[in-house]
Structures are given as C-alpha cells and as structure tokens.
Chains A and B, each alone.
Chain A
Amino acid sequence: MASLELKQLVKEFGSGASMVRVIHGVDLQVNDGEFVVFVGPSGCGKSTLLRLICGLEDATSGDILLDNERVNDKRAADRGLAMVFQSYALYPHMTVYQNMAFGLENIGTPKAVIEKKVGDAAKLLRLDALLERKPTQLSGGQRQRVAIGRAIVREPKIFLFDEPLSNLDAELRVSMRSEITGLHRRLGATMIYVTHDQVEAMTMADKIVVLRAGKIEQVGSPLELYNRPANKFVAGFIGSPQMNFVPVHAGHGDTIVTAHNASFTKPTQTRPASGTELTLGVRPEHLSLQAADGALALPMTITGVEQLGGHSLLYGTLPGAGGKDGPRITAQVAGQVSTRIGDTATVYASADTCHLFSTADGETVVR
C-alpha cells in the first residue's frame, strides 16, 4: 500500500557530447491503490520512467517520493517494489517454485513462510500444478503468470509492469488483461503499468499518463482523456480508429470554415481572430451519414470500405484546394452500407462532438 510522487524528474544517458535527455522534468502523483497506465509511442521514455521509479536507473535530477519519503538513493531491492518485465526475466535454470522463492530466500525468510506464500500465490494464479516445471516448459500465458506470481510473493508496495502482455497473442492478451485487473481489485495494491496499446490503457486504467518524448502530455481518467484531450497529440493517441484531423480556419463570429468552404458554428471561449489556422478533430465514431441541423458536412470521395457487419468503416478523402485530394477521413457508421469505392458520400459531424486545436502548437482551443 503506497503512494508515489515524482517531482521534476530528469534522466540523461551518456555524458558530454553524446549526452541525451530522455526524461524532461516529469511531475506525477500516484495515489494509494490506483491503477496507473503509462502510454505513449515507442521510445518516448515509458520504460525509462518505470526503471527510474524502481531504482534500476539513477535519476539525473529530481525526486522520487515513496509514501512521502525520498528514495532516490535507495537500492532497487530496498525500495520494496516489484517489477514484471516485458520478457518476464524468469530464471531459466530454476523451477517455477524456485523462481518465486528466490527473492524471499535472499532476505532470509523462513522456509515454512516461503512455502506458504508461494503456495498462496500459485493458487491465486492457478499455477499450483506447475510448480516443479522449468520456464521453458510453460506456455506464454503461464510464464506471464509466474512473473506476476514472483512479484506477488514479495508483497510489494507498488507493482510495476513493463508491457507485460506484448509477447502474448491477441486472445491471451484479453484474458490476461482481465486477470491483472481482477488481481488489482483483490489485492487493492498500487500498480503502474506501461503499454503502448491504448485499448489496454483504456480498459485497465484508473488513471492514464500520456507521455511523448520524455514529457507528460496529459494525466487523467480514460474517459477524461477521450472526451477532453488536452492537445492534438493526446486526441490522436487515444481512441481507435484514430481521430480525423481537418485543417480549418476561424471565420466571423463563432463560425469555423473548412478548406472546401463548408462552415458551421462552434462557440469558443477564447474566440481566435478571424482567419486563424485551426485543426478540427472529429472521431470516426462521431461521424454519421444522417444530416442534422448545424452539423458540418464532409463530402468524402470513398477510397475504401470495410464492412464489419455491426458497423462499417468508410475511408475517403475530402476535396482539397485546386482539385487535389484533401485530408483523409475515416468514418465509422452504424449498420451496413451500400457505398462503393469511387462514390461520393457526405458524412456529418455535429458541432458538440468536434474538437478544435490550434494548428500552431496543437493545444486544444475548445472542445
């Protein structure tokens, strides 16, 4: 049971000319019992941040506070955290039992206690029948559970997971996902979970931390991030299929004008000056083939159709300047469609589902 706080955390690798800053002053608060997910594109520093927290890397500057105590100078083992590695990092020469018991043996836990703890964890994870096997004799999902079991027996203050499911096939991923959330509920422990799969992030997290290039872009609950992204990056990162972006500019009053001269009204608090370049964002699932009052009309030239039965995906382009193709649009519409490639179909976006971002810096102008 623990809370975690990061203050202006900075990490640099190398020194001199070859020095690279990977984490740029991160501030973060993780409350007791929370399930926090770090997401972000590959190479953005998710693993590095996790390794800083658990002490496998030393912070260049800034503070790491565990239960309000600064732990920067504590060794990884002494921070009382447990890590589940992406590759599981099971000791290949030890049995499942030995893998789970190793950490407890190292701190001189009595044998009987070890047996009890490992037995309990094994039962919890349905590993009881596999205790005498070596890791190579296990399936991917079983290995994953051993790795988690190894973390559980240590009763850590915080569980850290680094992309624990990325080596599993899609089906197993779904079932392990619910197993981990179930575990979180049962243990009530604080967990920090790294992934670049945004479905995992949306379905598991109490709180999502979106990272980009070593900086936090936004922190919030999954629906907060979906409904009120702080900027174009978060908006594009959360949600699948990805949000559509259409270049627009501010017209008179509250009107917004697209490149193909469609316009609609959207009140903005800041009301940018007429002519300001903006980016309109609208999620595919918010586009519809039915016209509605005050909705923005987007005439698409269809380039692809995917019929999924319950819903359909339409891919197309908007008319651009000078007869060239404009921005690409994806629309997810209910039911089945008769649209073919080459057709023109108009989809409608109601004003309240549209987001506006400043084209200059990507910040949200209004939702």
Chain B
Amino acid sequence: MKSSTARTPWFFLTPNLVIFGVFTFLPIAINLYYAFTGGVQLYPKDRPFVGTENLATLLDCGSYLDPASCKKDIFWRAVWNTAQFSLFQVTVMVLFSLITALVLNRKIIGRGFWRGVYFYPVLLSPVVVALIWKWILQREGVLNAVGVAVGVPQTLWLAEPGWAMFWVIFVSIWAHMGFYTLILLAGLQAIPADLYEAAQMDRASPWRTLTRVTLPLLLPNLLVVLVLAAIKAVQTFDEVFVLTGGGPGSATTFVVQFIYQTGFQEQVRLYGLAAAGSLLLAVALIALTLLQLKISRAEEAGERAR
C-alpha cells in the first residue's frame, strides 16, 4: 500500500531470516570452506587450503565394496552400515506402517486409541527410546529371561555385530513407524468411500478391492513415505549412538556418527574431514529430495488429470 508500509513485511520477516541466515545459510557456506581446508584449527582464517584432499581421503579406496581396502575404512564401514540399515529399516517399516494403516482404516472400534498406541513412541526422545530398549536387551534383561524360559541361551544382544544391527533396525522401526502409519492412514481416508461402494457393487473380493482400488490410489502417498523415510534413515544417529555407541567395534557406526566423531570426539579434531563427510551426505540427501520433488510433481500432475 503506502510506501511507509512497503518495509513492514520485511520488519516481520527479519527475526526469522536473520536466524536462518546465521544458523543455516552461513554454516552451509562455511561448511564448503571447511571441506576444502585442512588442519585442526576451528577458525577458517587459520586453516590451510588443501583443495580436494579431504574428499580424496574419504574416497581413496581399493574397492568401494570392501571398506578394509579404503584409506578411511571407518567412513566406508559407516557408509555401508548406513546403506544396509536404511534398506532394511525403510522397507520393513513402510510395510508394517502400511499394514497398520490398512487395519486402522477398517471399521474398528476405538480407532483413535489404537492410532495413539502406534504413534506414542514417535514422541519419545531418542535417548529415552534407546534406554528403554537397552534395559530390555541387557544381559539380565527381560528378553533374556523370556529366552531362557523357552530354552534360548542368555545372549548379549548388543555385543554381537549381527544382532546389534538387527536390534538397531528393530528399535528404529519401533520408534518411527507410527509417524508413517499416520500419513498413510490420512492417505487412505482421502480415498472417497463411494469407490469402495462401487467396488462392492462390482462384487470385488476384499483382496481385489485392496490390490485394484486401494493400493493403486495410495501409491503416490506410499512413494512419498518411502522417500521421506529414506531421507530420515540415512541421517540416523541419536538412538543408535545411545543404544550401541556405534559398536560392537564399528558394526553400527553410521555416517552422521562418523561426522560427529571426526569433528567432535577424537583427540585430533579433523573438521575438514568431517565437513567433507557431510558434503557427501548432503549429496545423497539432495538426490533423495529431488526424487521426492519429482514424485510429488508427478502426483500433482496426476491429480490435475483426474
């Protein structure tokens, strides 16, 4: 309106923009700088430019499939752990979320209550989640008690690499599936009821209704959920860090933990290497995000066509 009010929107935007600028955009710039400088100094001024040395160190591998052949073997172990974790966690979790959403979408009594049951762990902090399960999985824990009762020997569940990975995936699914269930349930409820009635009139069996009506219509939501879950999975850190500390050995060390350790836990803090690691993680995340954008764009186009 009046010229005096032309500045008003910027007045209201300033606090947010300043914070985003200082704590998001500026750090992105600094991160790039870190990734191409070396040394152990925190101040950018004091850091010698090393070009792509950090990236080269991370990428220096005999064979990418074999972390032992890499210069930074821990990084590649983390990469492969993350990949394995993400693959299983995402597929199993989305599958169970889907089943749960389908069940909750039926005409059941007390839907709100059941929905709450599955959603509750989502709200727990990662530390609490990890402690709850650590307590169950410990040597004298309730799981071993039940195991002994049915004849399974007492096991240190988190001290064996295979089991540790299994439980990390399990706990992560336990903690997060409620969120994806909720999104899928919203998608299911958006499917108009008259379609089901039409299918009923067409004498479609429940199974055919599911595979030919429900799932095709839910597919866009399902794809979005898959990508969202993948974006979260590759960033997994907190629960695992508290539950296993990345161990035994490096069996459950993931990429974010590598960044955290390299930058903050080691005696010699290699900020450059950590920054280079996060740069590579960012590339993976951007790829996933673009995938999501593409899916939702296709979805929008489909919606308009409908």
Contacts from A to B (Cβ < 8 Å): 56-58, 73, 75-76
- List residues of chain A with CB within 8 A of the CB of B4: 75
- B2 part of interface (Cβ distance < 8 Å): yes
* Residues in B neighbouring A75, C-beta threshold 8 A: 1-2, 4
- What is the distance, in angstroms, from A81's C-beta to the closest C-beta of chain B? 15
A76 and chain B: residue at smallest CB distance: B1
Residues of B within 8 A of A76 (CB): 1
Q: When chains A and B are docked, how far (Å) is the Cα of A58 from the Cα of B2?
A: 7
Contacts of B2 in A (CB 8 A): 58, 73, 75
A-B contact pairs, 9 of them (CB 8 A): A56-B1, A57-B1, A58-B1, A58-B2, A73-B2, A75-B1, A75-B2, A75-B4, A76-B1
C-alpha spacing A76/B4, complex, angstroms = 13
A76 to B5: give the CA distance in the assembly, Å.
12
1-34 of chain B: CB within 8 A of chain A: 1-2, 4
Task: Give the top 9 A-B pairs by smallest Cβ distance, nearest first.
Answer: A75-B2, A58-B1, A58-B2, A73-B2, A56-B1, A75-B1, A57-B1, A76-B1, A75-B4
Give Cα A15–Cα B2 distance, bound, in whole angstroms. 17
B1 and chain A: residue at smallest CB distance: A58
Complex CA gap A58/B1 in Å reads 6
Q: Please name 6 further chain A to chain B contacts, defined as beta carbons within 8 Å, in addition to the given A57-B1, A58-B2, A76-B1, sorted by A numbering.
A: A56-B1, A58-B1, A73-B2, A75-B1, A75-B2, A75-B4
Bound complex: CA of A76 vs CA of B1, how far in Å? Answer: 10
Q: How far is the CB of B6 from chain A (nearest CB, A)?
A: 11
A139 to B102, CA, bound (A): 45
A258 vs B4: C-alpha distance when bound (angstroms): 62
Chain A residue with Cβ nearest B4: A75
Q: Using CB atoms, name the residue of chain A closest to B2.
A: A75
Q: How long is the Cα–Cα vector from A57 to B2 in the complex, in angstroms?
A: 9
Least CB distance, B226 to chain A, in whole angstroms: 40
Q: How far is the CB of B152 from chain A (nearest CB, A)?
A: 62
How many Å lie between the Cα of A75 and that of B1 in the bound state? Answer: 9
Residue of chain A at shortest CB distance from B3: A73
Question: What CA separation (Å) do A58 and B4 show in the bound complex?
Answer: 13
In the assembled complex, the Cα of A73 lies from the Cα of B4 at a distance in Å of: 11
How near does chain B come to A11, taking the closest CB pair, in angstroms? Answer: 13
B residues near A58, Cβ cutoff 8 Å: 1-2
